[in-house]
């Protein structure tokens, strides 16, 4: 697993959230609407839950991307589609080891 997958770094959209002046990394004026450390922990938590669900047979490999996107949306985390794809692939690899 890459460092960015473990920390959630580089997975956040650089667009500011409406109604905030926070930016990338959750710092004021830099772009992710306060997703910083809390958002990273949330991405890690979501990824861990999906890994567990795969191991338990609740999620099949074909659904990982879809399930990941739904859970990120539910947590209010915006990620670029290519980053969601990359993270989903890493989750699938991790769960199969």
Dihedrals φ, ψ of 95, to 5°?
Answer: -70, -25
Nearest Cα to Cα of residue 61 among 18, 90, 24, 30: 90
pLDDT in tens, 53-68: 999 999 987 899 999 9
Instruction: State the residue for tokens 């980053």.
Output: 83
d(CA 44, CA 11): 11
Does the pTM surpass 0.75? The reply is: no
C-alpha distances in angstroms, 91 versus 40, 52, 75? Answer: 15, 10, 18
> Regarding predicted confidence, which is higher, 92 or 35?
92
**Residue appearing with tokens 């650089």:** 14
pLDDT per position as a tens digit, 15-73: 444 444 344 444 333 334 445 666 667 899 999 999 999 999 999 878 999 999 999 99
């Amino acid at each position: 697993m890459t460092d960015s997958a473990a920390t959630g770094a580089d997975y956040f959209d650089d667009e500011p959230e409406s109604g905030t002046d926070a930016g990338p990394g959750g710092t004021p004026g830099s772009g992710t609407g306060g997703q910083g450390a809390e958002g990273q922990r949330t991405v890690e938590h979501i990824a861990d839950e999906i890994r567990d669900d795969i191991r338990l047979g609740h999620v099949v490999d074909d659904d990982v991307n879809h399930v990941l996107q739904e859970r990120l949306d539910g947590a209010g985390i915006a990620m670029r589609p290519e980053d969601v794809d990359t993270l989903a692939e890493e989750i699938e690899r991790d769960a199969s080891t």
